Amino acid sequence: MSIMDSLKAKAKADKKTIVLPESMDKRTFAAAEQILKEGIANLVIIGTPEEIAENSKGYDITGATIVDPFTDPNRQKYIDKFVELRSKKGVTPESAEEMMTKDYMYYACLMCKCGDADGAVSGACHSTGNTIRPALQLLKTKPGISSVSGFFLMEVPDCEFGDNGLFVFADCAVNTDIDSAKLAEIAGLSAESFKMFTGGEPRVAMLSYSSKGSAKHDDVTKVAEAVKIAHEKFPDIELDGELQLDAALVPEVGELKAPDSKVAGHANTLVFPSLEAGNIGYKLVQRLAKAEAYGPVLQGLSMPVNDLSRGCFAEDIVGVVAMTAVQAQLAGK
Ligand code: ACO
């Protein structure tokens, strides 16, 4: 069974309610038809009757709950919640109403915040920044977490590394400025994500262009410092660094470059030292090794909200909804 088939099965076993705010995009409805048919999640689609009628033509979305943000009986509740959460940032009832009806992602996050949905998926026709900003502003991080980050679940075909080709790569999507403390936090969250999505035990490599002091530079010190912080914060996680990618993945190289490391040569969770490295790294593996790259999945938010690539297919939306539903099952546990 592929990892996605097992995630869909997990999602079906305890169905969650996921909001799809992009009713202006036909792919939302193609995905919704499949999600409902397969029973992966209960769906709420936000849109006006005109948007729904125009873009759902040809798709059977019987069973989805349609919420018109202009006439929804819960609208005032969401405006009040928006003002409660953001009045210090200058949000008034008027501006709340305008933001919620111009950008349905705000509406979707407010539904989650008020307990009317378990998670949201957007980004087929919105940038990453515009997709995740409402979630950062309204849902905020989990207790004890300072930064949300984004990982990809990578499934590399015919691969003997990682867990038979399964990996978590992070941060590939969110944090433009990463210091040692943030890297350590990303390591802890990524280990949790690996376990949540694969069921396997994470082995976390903190990546660099140096292995165990083979090079000296502030960039190397940043990662080495992150390893120290992570060991103190998460003593139970198998984690090591700084490691070059080959030392992290290939047993013979790991043995040579970091002989005392339990992680070197066996890593399945790769924490990149910067967003550039993470973003370029996952795309290299996706394109050159023809790997499946599921994500970016956000980790560290108080409730699951996930982004899509603007080049996504309906099938990709189905996959991200399944992953969001699995995160929702475990939220708060
Ligand atoms: N974790 C938690 N909260 C955050 C984070 C974070 N990583 N980043 C910002 N916030 C909070 C801020 O504290 C702020 O809260 P407040 O309004 O209550 O004070 C709120 O989010 C908005 O923050 P800003 O800094 O004003 O938001 P901005 O829009 O500038 O930045 C964003 C946030 C969108 C995540 C930005 O960091 C970004 O654009 N990152 C890169 C995204 C990207 O382009 N990724 C690559 C493409 S994805 C791909 O290829 C798969």
Per-residue pLDDT reduced to its tens digit, 74-118:
999 999 999 999 999 999 999 999 999 999 999 999 999 999 999
Distance 11 CA to ligand 1 centre (A): 28
- Our answer on whether the CB atom of 173 is closer than 6 Å to any ligand 1 atom is yes
DSSP letter assigned to residue 201? P
* Sign of the alpha-carbon dihedral angle for 136, 139, 52, 38: positive
Q: How many Å apart are CA 43 and CA 30, to the nearest integer? A: 13
Distance 46 CA to ligand 1 centre (A): 24
Q: Do the bridges between strand 149-155 and strand 292-299 make them parallel or antiparallel, or are there none, so unpaired? A: antiparallel
Q: How many Å apart are CA 259 and CA 75, to the nearest integer? A: 60
- Our answer on whether the CB atom of 279 is closer than 6 Å to any ligand 1 atom is yes
What atom in ligand 1 is closest to the CA of residue 129?
A: 34
- Our answer on whether the CB atom of 2 is closer than 6 Å to any ligand 1 atom is no
Distance 126 CA to ligand 1 centre (A): 14
Per-residue pLDDT of the chain (333 residues; tens, 9 = 90+): 889 999 999 999 999 999 999 999 999 999 999 999 999 999 999 999 999 999 999 999 999 999 999 999 999 999 999 999 999 999 999 999 999 999 999 999 999 999 999 999 999 999 888 999 999 999 999 999 999 999 999 999 999 999 999 999 999 999 999 999 999 999 999 999 999 999 999 999 999 999 999 999 999 999 999 999 999 999 999 999 999 999 999 999 999 999 999 999 999 999 999 999 999 999 999 999 999 999 899 999 999 999 998 888 899 999 999 999 999 998 855
What atom in ligand 1 is closest to the CA of residue 141?
A: 2
Q: How many Å apart are CA 221 and CA 289, to the nearest integer? A: 31
Q: How many Å apart are CA 223 and CA 273, to the nearest integer? A: 7
Length of the chain: 333
**Lateral strand order in the sheet of 166-170:** 238-243, 203-207, 269-271, 166-170, 149-155, 292-299
- Our answer on whether the CB atom of 181 is closer than 6 Å to any ligand 1 atom is no
Distance 84 CA to ligand 1 centre (A): 21
- Our answer on whether the CB atom of 297 is closer than 6 Å to any ligand 1 atom is no
Q: How many Å apart are CA 141 and CA 189, to the nearest integer? A: 12
